[in-house]
């Protein structure tokens, strides 16, 4: 009996490669993502990986873009549910940042991406461009400085989870609530 030819599933292979790269980055950091390890983890040959991603840079860029898209989708969903247009984007940003569970793969990946962005300004450019577009899109805040302060504080609340061995969750919740109150002033 002859075996059936294996059906190619390029989208699934691509997804598997991105997932493998994300797992490695979340476990060890973005600098430890190698094409050989990604291919091995995804069960693909190196040639298969390079068929989908011509270089490690392309793979990393696509991984960051995919993650940014998921953050954008989360924020857009929160914005749609918020009846108050004033400060809506900043509130959604705050809620999405505060709601992260540091134990999840996505959030460990985000930690790896942010760490890498801090080390490599070229990796940070897409995020800076995205944020600028969001500010243009949701330019309804009468106090853009206060909005920036709230977003910076949201980043700090998020980073505290990853940097600290002990987090005072009551204090963190109080800070979150104060920031939410401030978004009502925007």
Per-residue model confidence as pLDDT tens for the chain (186 residues)? 555 555 678 889 998 998 899 888 878 878 889 999 999 999 999 999 999 999 999 999 898 888 888 888 989 999 999 999 889 999 999 998 886 555 555 666 777 777 787 778 888 898 889 888 888 887 767 788 899 999 999 888 777 666 655 777 788 889 999 999 999 988
- 127 to each of 13, 76, 98, how far by Cα in Å? 26, 16, 18
User: Residue 102's closest CA among 156, 26, 18?
Assistant: 26
pLDDT of the residue at 162? 61
Q: What angle do helix axes 105-119 and 56-81 make, rounded to 10 degrees?
A: 120
The CB density around residue 110, as the number of other CB atoms within 10 Å, is 23
- Helices 10-28, 35-42: crossing angle, 10 deg rounding: 120
Q: Residue 6 is encoded by which pair of tokens?
A: 């294996």
In 3D, which of 104, 111, 120, 106 has the Cα closest to residue 66? 106
What pLDDT shows up at residue 63? 86
Query: Is 172 strand, coil or helix?
Result: helix
């Amino acid at each position: 009996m002859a075996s059936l030819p294996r059906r190619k599933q390029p989208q699934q292979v691509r997804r598997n490669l991105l997932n493998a790269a994300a797992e490695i980055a979340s476990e060890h950091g973005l600098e430890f993502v190698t094409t050989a390890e990604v291919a091995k983890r995804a069960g693909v040959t190196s040639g298969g990986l390079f068929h989908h991603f011509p270089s490690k840079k392309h793979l990393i860029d696509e991984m960051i873009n995919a993650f940014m898209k998921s953050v954008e989708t989360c924020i857009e969903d929160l914005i749609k549910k918020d009846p108050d247009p004033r400060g809506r984007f900043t509130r959604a940003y705050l809620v999405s940042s505060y709601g992260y569970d540091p134990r999840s793969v996505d959030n460990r990946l985000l930690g790896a991406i942010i760490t890498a962005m801090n080390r490599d300004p070229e990796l940070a450019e897409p995020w800076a461009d995205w944020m600028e577009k969001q500010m243009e899109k949701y330019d309804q805040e009468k106090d853009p400085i206060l909005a920036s302060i709230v977003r910076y504080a949201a980043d700090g609340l998020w980073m505290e989870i990853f940097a600290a061995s002990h987090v005072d969750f009551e204090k963190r919740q109080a800070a979150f609530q104060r920031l939410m109150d401030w978004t009502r002033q925007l």
